[in-house]
Amino acid sequence: MSAQEAEIPSPEEDPGVFIHPAVDAVTDQVAVVVQERPVVPLTAWLVDAASACAQAQQGLQILTPANARITLPLRTTLSGPGSRWVVREPGDAGFYDGLSGVPLAWDGSAFAILPEQAKAGPSPTFAQSVPDLGSHLLLDVRIRHEATLDLVLGGAVEALARILGGGEPAGWGIAEPAVNPWDRAELTELCHRRSPKSTWLMFTGSAGRRFIGSVLVSRVTSGVKEEITFLVGYGPDEEPPLDLLEGIVAEFADVLLSMTVQRTRGRTDLTYPARWCGAPVPVGLAIGAEGVREIGLDHALSAPAEGRPIGPERAPAVWYPLGDGQDPQAWSSFSDLLKHLRPEGMA
């Protein structure tokens, strides 16, 4: 069934909802953008469409053919309420969710999961194997700085790029491609101009090893917070350097709030196909000195997973390695660890 056969309304059919040039179809619940291209990035006009959807309290749904791939920034954007990557089955035989494989159908307002379809299991197209997959390391890092006049942002991104990517970021921007040459001063100035509003930025690099990520900069009562997502890829015959992760915790020890690391199978170009590539597995978790102080060092070190103090003896961060990221049982260890640390330590 094609998008047209699904009877998705065009923006012109309902003047009561917002119209954006990037939008191919719209209802009071979602805006649908059709992309007929092999790789779909988070372009500037998709950023605008996502912003318009957020203001209208609508989801954004991207419709692609089954051979399309999306980037990390777009995948992150589609994680919002009502948003979805909708994949058209070959031969117009239906639709499925590009991240989960669950069959979808147009219900008159949005592409949605219908109960009778969900029982059938994932799409056979989604279940097809993907050749030559390597490994991805995905880091989520939360840090907080004092709000000083001489604060220059981007140092944490540079450190991640240097340690895991082998060089500085090449570019940054608010959309893909990241056309602005990496410049911490310019990045900081943009965030300063937009404050107290939060600023979301993305960055890329390939000096030594390809990486991509994003950072959300927010002004909070206790300072300036950076929430960084960093994705780096390794080939099928390469083993990610997990021994470097403890050094990252040491690098951020004085400003770290938390860090989680996951490993999954993935393409070395860091794009996501509409295929099953395996579930992510936790590699480790760290809490910063503030979190350790709130729960107490003795409590932090009595966790069900071994904790390694890093930094000043009286105010350390703690790193909890959970394995090599290939044993799904690590999720059980991760869950037990969170139960031990929360709510105070990870708030």
**pLDDT tens, residue by residue, 18-62:** 556 778 999 999 999 999 999 999 999 999 999 999 999 999 999
Number of domains forming the structure of the chain: 2
Does residue 12 sit within a domain? no
Q: Are residues 186 and 113 in the same domain?
A: no
Residue recorded with tokens 């954004």: 60
Domain assignment of residue 6, yes or no: no
Looking at the structure, tell me whether residues 213 and 78 fall in a common domain.
Answer: no
**Under 8 Å between Cβ of 75 and 68:** no
Average pLDDT score over residue span 111-120: 82
Answer whether residue 188 is part of any domain: yes
Quote the CA–CA distance of 264 and 262 in Å, as a whole number: 7
Q: CA-CA distance, 38 to 151, in Å (whole number)?
A: 40
Complete edge-to-edge strand list for the sheet that includes strand 84-88: 25-26, 30-34, 59-65, 84-88, 95-97, 103-106, 111-112
Given a cut of 70, is residue 70 above it in pLDDT? yes
What per-residue confidence (pLDDT) applies to 207?
Answer: 80
Instruction: Specify if 8 maps to a domain.
Output: no
Provide the domain limits for residue 103.
Answer: 25-127
pLDDT one-digit tens code per residue, 320-344: 999 999 999 999 999 999 999 985 4
Query: Does a structural domain hold residue 305?
Result: yes
Three-class secondary structure of residue 150 per DSSP: coil
Residues 170 and 92 in one domain: no
- 171 and 271 belong to one structural domain: yes
pLDDT mean over 122-142: 96
Query: Residue 118: how many CB atoms within 10 A of its CB?
Result: 12
Asked, for residue 42, whether it belongs to a domain, the answer is yes
- What are all long-range contacts of 175-179, with beta carbons under 8 Å and residues at least 24 apart? 175/42, 175/43, 175/44, 175/46, 175/47, 175/73, 175/202, 176/41, 176/42, 176/43, 176/71, 176/73, 176/74, 176/202, 177/41, 177/204, 178/202, 178/203, 178/204
Strand partners, 87: 64, 96
pTM of this prediction?
A: 0.92
The answer to whether position 123 is within a domain reads yes
Q: Are residues 105 and 203 both part of a single domain? A: no
pLDDT by residue (tens digit) across 226-241? 999 999 999 999 999 9
β-pairing, 211-220 with 256-266?
unpaired
The C-alpha angle with vertex 184 and arms to 181 and 186, in degrees rounded to 5, equals 75
Residue 17 has pLDDT above 60, yes or no: no
Final residue in a domain of this structure, among 100, 127, 154? 127
Residue 184 and residue 56 in one domain: no
- What is the CB neighbour count within 10 angstroms for residue 330? 22
Please indicate, yes or no, whether residues 192 and 155 belong to a single structural domain of this protein.
Answer: yes
| Mean pLDDT in residue range 315-320 | 96
Closest CA to 202 of 170, 224, 233, 234: 170
Q: Distance (Å, rounded) from C-alpha 254 to C-alpha 345?
A: 16
The pLDDT value given to residue 289: 96
Q: Are residues 317 and 280 in the same domain?
A: yes
Instruction: Using a pLDDT cut of 70, give the percent of the chain over it.
Output: 93
16 occurs within a structural domain = no
Residues 174 and 272 in one domain: yes
Residue 142: both structure tokens together? 């939360």
Q: Same structural domain for residues 157 and 67? A: no
Window from 1-5, 114-118, 220-224, 233-237 with minimum mean pLDDT: 1-5
Write the single-letter amino acid at 342.
Answer: R
Which residue, 98, 127, 156, sits at the end of a domain? 127
81 in the same domain as 176:
no
Same domain, 123 and 161: no
| Beta strands 39-40; 69-70: pairing state | parallel
Domain boundary pick from 127, 142, 158: 127
